[in-house]
Amino acid sequence: MNGEKQHALLSASGAHRWLNCTPSARLEREFDDNSGEAAAEGTAAHALAEHKLRRALKMRSKKPVSKYDSDEMDSYTDGYVEFVLELIEQAKQTCPDPKVLIEQRLDFSKYVPDGFGTGDCVIIADGTLHIVDYKHGQGVLVEAEDNPQMKLYALGALELFDNIYDIDTVSMTIYQPRRENISTHKVNKDSLYQWAEDTLKHTAEKAFKGEGEYVPGEYCQFCRAAVKCRARAEEKLSLARFEFALPPLLTDGEIEEILSKLDDLTAWANDIKAYALEAAVSYGKEWSGFKLVEGRSNRKYANEDAVAEAAKAAGYRDIYRQSLITITEMERLMGKAKFQEILGAFIERPPGKPTLVPLSDKRPAINASSAKIDFMEE
CA atoms within 13 A on the CB side of 36: 7
pLDDT of residue 260: 80
pLDDT of residue 1: 46
pLDDT of residue 3: 44
Dist CA 168 CA 94 (whole Å): 13
Alpha helices in the chain (DSSP H): 15-20, 24-28, 36-56, 71-92, 148-161, 189-195, 201-209, 230-237, 252-283, 304-313, 327-334, 336-343, 368-377
Smallest CA-to-CA distance from 355 within 346, 347, 364 is with 364
Query: Residue 32: which residues within 8 A CB-CB, separation 6 or more?
Result: 224
> Do 347 and 327 contact (CB within 8 A), yes or no?
yes
> Do 174 and 16 contact (CB within 8 A), yes or no?
no
Dist CA 158 CA 192 (whole Å): 10
pLDDT of residue 336: 84
Domains and CATH numbers, the chain: 3-209 (3.90.320), 229-283 (no CATH), 304-346 (no CATH)
pLDDT of residue 5: 43
Dist CA 13 CA 160 (whole Å): 20
Dist CA 54 CA 174 (whole Å): 19
pLDDT of residue 110: 95
Dist CA 232 CA 170 (whole Å): 35
CA atoms within 13 A on the CB side of 109: 9
Instruction: Indicate the burial class of 148 (C-beta count within 10 angstroms; 0-12, 13-18, 19 or more).
Output: buried
Sheet of 127-134: strand order equals 99-107, 116-124, 127-134, 167-176, 181-188
Per-residue pLDDT of the chain (378 residues; tens, 9 = 90+): 444 445 688 999 999 999 999 988 888 888 777 667 888 999 999 999 999 999 999 999 999 999 999 988 999 999 999 999 999 999 998 888 899 999 999 999 999 999 999 999 999 999 999 999 999 988 788 999 999 999 999 999 999 999 899 999 999 999 999 988 999 999 999 999 999 999 999 999 999 999 988 888 878 777 887 777 777 777 767 766 665 666 667 788 878 887 887 777 777 778 778 888 888 888 888 888 888 878 777 888 899 999 999 999 999 888 888 888 888 888 888 888 899 999 999 988 887 777 777 777 777 887 766 555 554 455
Instruction: Indicate the burial class of 371 (C-beta count within 10 angstroms; 0-12, 13-18, 19 or more).
Output: middle
Q: Which residues pair with 190 in a beta bridge?
A: none
Helix, strand or coil, per DSSP, at residue 306: helix
0.75 cut: is pTM over it?
Answer: no
Query: Residue 131: which residues within 8 A CB-CB, separation 6 or more?
Result: 119, 121, 122, 150, 153, 154, 157, 170, 171, 172, 173
Report phi then psi at 277, rounded to 5.
-65, -45
pLDDT of residue 59: 93
